[in-house]
Structure 1
Amino acid sequence: MVKSMTSFGRASNDEGSKYLFSIEMKSVNSRYLDINIKLPKNLIPLEEQIRKLINEKLNRGKVDVYINQKSYSSGEGLARLNLNLAESYYKCLLEIEEKFNVKNDITVSHIARFTDVIEIVEEEDNIEKKFEFLKPLIEEALEKMEKMRVAEGEKLKDDILLKLKDIEIFVNNIEELADAIPVTYKSKLEARIKELLDKIDIDEARIAQEAAIIADKAAVDEEIIRLKSHIDQVRKTFKETEPIGRKLDFIIQEMNREANTIASKSTDINMTNYVINIKNLIEKIREQVQNIE
Structure 2
Amino acid sequence: MVTSMTGYGREESGNGQVKVFAEIKTVNHRFCEYTIRMPRQLLILEEKVKKKANQYIRRGRVEIFITVEGESLVSKKVKVDWDLADQYVDLMAKVKDTYKLESSITLQDMLQLESIFMTEEVPMVPHDLEASLLKAVSGALDNLKTMRAHEGQELAVDMVNQLNRFREIIAGVKNHAPRVVEKYKARLETKLADLTDGLIEDSRIVTEAAIFADRCDINEELTRLESHVQQFSATLSENEPIGRKLDFLVQEMNREVNTIGSKANDSLITKDVVEMKSLLEKLKEQVQNIE
Could you state the TM-score of these two structures normalised by the residue count of structure 2? 0.85
Equivalent position of 2:213 in the other structure: 215
Give the aligned residue type for 1:4. Answer: S
Write the letter of the residue equivalent to 2:119. Answer: I
Q: Which ranges in structure 1 are unaligned for 5 or more consecutive residues?
A: 88-105
Query: Would you say 1:120 and 2:118 are equivalent positions?
Result: no
Alignment match of 2:266 (pick from 265, 268, 291): 268
Paired residue secondary structure (1:163): helix
- Kindly state the Cα deviation for residue 118 of structure 1 after the two structures are TM-superposed: 2.8
Shift of 1:202: 1.6
Q: Summarize the alignment of residues 83-122 of structure 1 with structure 2, pairs less than 5 Å apart.
A: 107-109=112-114, 118-122=119-123
2:128 partner SS: helix
Indicate if the aligned counterparts of 1:18 and 1:73 stay in contact, CA closer than 8 A. Answer: no
Three-state SS of the structure 2 residue aligned to 1:22 is strand
Corresponding residue for residue 96 of structure 1: none
Letter in structure 1 aligned against 2:259: T
Separation of aligned partners in 2, 1:41 and 1:157: 41
Do the aligned residues in 2 keep the contact of 1:23 with 1:65 (CA within 8 Å)?
A: yes
The amino acid across from 2:240 in the alignment is E
Return the offset for 1:23.
1.2
1:77: how far off?
3.6
CA RMSD of aligned residues (A): 2.4
Query: For residue 231 of structure 2, what is the aligned residue in structure 1?
Result: 233
* 1:98 match: none
Alpha-carbon separation, structure 2, partners of 1:269 and 1:152: 38
SS at match of 2:30: coil
Give the 3-state SS of the residue equivalent to 2:35 in structure 1: strand
Is the contact made by 1:42 and 1:121 (CA closer than 8 Å) also made in structure 2? no
For 1:48, the equivalent position in structure 2 comes to 47
Alpha-carbon distance in 2 for matches of 1:166, 1:82: 79
Structure 2 CA distance, aligned partners of 1:108 and 1:141?
51
* 1:43–1:83 distance in 2 versus 1, CA, 3 Å: farther
In 2: Cα distance, 1:121 partner to 1:211 partner: 89
Distance in 1 separating the partners of 2:127 and 2:154: 40
Give the drift of 1:111.
7.0
Q: Matched residue of 2:247: which SS?
A: helix
Query: Distance in 2 between the 1:23 and 1:188 partners?
Result: 72
1:1-293 paired onto structure 2 within 5 Å: 1-13=1-13, 17-72=16-71, 77=75, 79=77, 81=79, 107-109=112-114, 118-123=119-124, 126=125, 129-198=128-197, 200-293=198-291
Contact 2:5 2:290 in 1 (8 A): yes
SS at match of 2:5: coil
**Paired amino acid for 1:259:** V
Q: Deviations over 1:138-166 (max 9, x none)?
A: 00000000000110000000000000111
Q: TM-score, normalised by structure 1?
A: 0.85
Q: CA contact under 8 A between 2:81 and 2:116: conserved in structure 1?
A: no
Distance 1:156 1:201, change over 3 A: same
Q: Provide the rounded CA distance (Å) in 2 between the counterparts of 1:45 and 1:70.
A: 18
- Distance between the aligned counterparts of 2:196 and 2:180, measured in 1? 24
Q: Displacement, 1:17? A: 2.5
1:239 shift after superposition: 1.3
- Cα distance in 2 between the residues matched to 1:109 and 1:283: 69
| Unmatched segments (≥5 aa) in structure 2 | 85-110
CA 128–177 in structure 1, closer or farther in 2 if over 3 Å, else same: farther
Q: Which amino acid aligns with 1:52?
A: K
Identity rate, percent: 37
Contact 1:252 1:286 in 2 (8 A): yes
